[in-house]
Structure 1
Amino acid sequence: MNSRILERASPWVFTVIIFLIWEVSCIIFNINSSVLQPPSAAFAAMFKYWKVFAYNSWVTLWVTMVGFALAVGFGVMLGLLVGWSRTIYRGMYPVMVGFNTIPKVAIVPLLILWFGIGEVPAIITAFLISFFPIVVNIATGLATTEPELEDVLRALGAGKLDIMLKVGIPRALPYFFGSLKVAITLAFVGTVVSETLGANAGLGYLIALEGASFRMANVYAALLLLAFEGVLMYAVFAWVEQRFTKWAFRSQMNAG
Structure 2
Amino acid sequence: MRKYKSSIIVSIVFFGIWEVIARYINAMYILPSPSKILEKIWILKEPLFLVHLPATLLVTFIGLLVSVGLGVSLAVIMNLSEKIQKAIYPIVVVTQTVPITAIAPIFVLWFGYTIWSKIIVTILITFFPITVNVYDGLRSTRREMEELLITYGASKKDIFIKLKIPSALPYFFSALKISVPLSVIGAAISEWLGAQSGLGYFSKRMMTQLDGAAVFAPIVILSFAAIIFVFIINVLENKIVKWRNEV
| Smaller-chain TM-score bracket | over 0.9
Provide structure 2 residue ranges, at least 5 long, that are not aligned to the other structure. none
Report what 2:216 is aligned to.
Answer: 220
**Aligned ranges 1:1-256 → 2 under 5 Å:** 5-27=1-23, 29-54=24-49, 55-250=51-246
- Over 3 Å counting, the alpha-carbon distance change for 1:99 and 1:174 in structure 2 is same
> If the length of structure 2 is used for normalisation, what is the TM-score?
0.93
Q: CA RMSD in A?
A: 1.6
Q: Is the 8 A contact 1:83 1:138 kept in 2?
A: no
Supply the distance in 2 between the matched residues of 1:146 and 1:233 (Cα, whole angstroms).
32
Residue 117 of structure 1 aligns to a residue in which SS? coil
Provide structure 1 residue ranges, at least 5 long, that are not aligned to the other structure. 252-256
The Cα offsets for residues 168-193 of structure 1, whole Å up to 9 and x where unpaired, read as 11110110111101011111111111
Q: Is the 8 A contact 1:122 1:194 kept in 2?
A: yes
Supply the distance in 1 between the matched residues of 2:195 and 2:54 (Cα, whole angstroms).
14
Supply the distance in 2 between the matched residues of 1:103 and 1:245 (Cα, whole angstroms).
36
Residue 28 of structure 2 aligns to a residue in which SS? coil
Supply the distance in 2 between the matched residues of 1:31 and 1:248 (Cα, whole angstroms).
51
Q: Is the 8 A contact 1:42 1:218 kept in 2?
A: yes
The Cα offsets for residues 142-194 of structure 1, whole Å up to 9 and x where unpaired, read as 12222222223223322222211110111101101111010111111111111
Supply the distance in 1 between the matched residues of 2:131 and 2:141 (Cα, whole angstroms).
16
Residue 107 of structure 1 aligns to a residue in which SS? helix
Supply the distance in 2 between the matched residues of 1:11 and 1:250 (Cα, whole angstroms).
26
Residue identity matched to 1:213? Q
Supply the distance in 2 between the matched residues of 1:187 and 1:129 (Cα, whole angstroms).
7
Residue 100 of structure 1 aligns to a residue in which SS? coil
- Over 3 Å counting, the alpha-carbon distance change for 1:97 and 1:79 in structure 2 is same
Supply the distance in 2 between the matched residues of 1:224 and 1:242 (Cα, whole angstroms).
27
Stretch moving more, 12-21 or 36-45: 12-21
Supply the distance in 1 between the matched residues of 2:58 and 2:231 (Cα, whole angstroms).
17
The alpha-carbon deviation at position 212 of structure 1 amounts to 1.2
Supply the distance in 2 between the matched residues of 1:144 and 1:12 (Cα, whole angstroms).
35
Supply the distance in 2 between the matched residues of 1:217 and 1:226 (Cα, whole angstroms).
14
Q: Is the 8 A contact 2:95 2:124 kept in 1?
A: no
The alpha-carbon deviation at position 208 of structure 1 amounts to 0.7
Supply the distance in 1 between the matched residues of 2:92 and 2:170 (Cα, whole angstroms).
22
The alpha-carbon deviation at position 64 of structure 1 amounts to 0.5
Supply the distance in 2 between the matched residues of 1:143 and 1:122 (Cα, whole angstroms).
33
Supply the distance in 2 between the matched residues of 1:152 and 1:11 (Cα, whole angstroms).
45
Supply the distance in 2 between the matched residues of 1:18 and 1:106 (Cα, whole angstroms).
34
The alpha-carbon deviation at position 31 of structure 1 amounts to 4.3
Q: Is the 8 A contact 1:86 1:143 kept in 2?
A: no
Supply the distance in 1 between the matched residues of 2:161 and 2:82 (Cα, whole angstroms).
17
Supply the distance in 1 between the matched residues of 2:242 and 2:17 (Cα, whole angstroms).
37
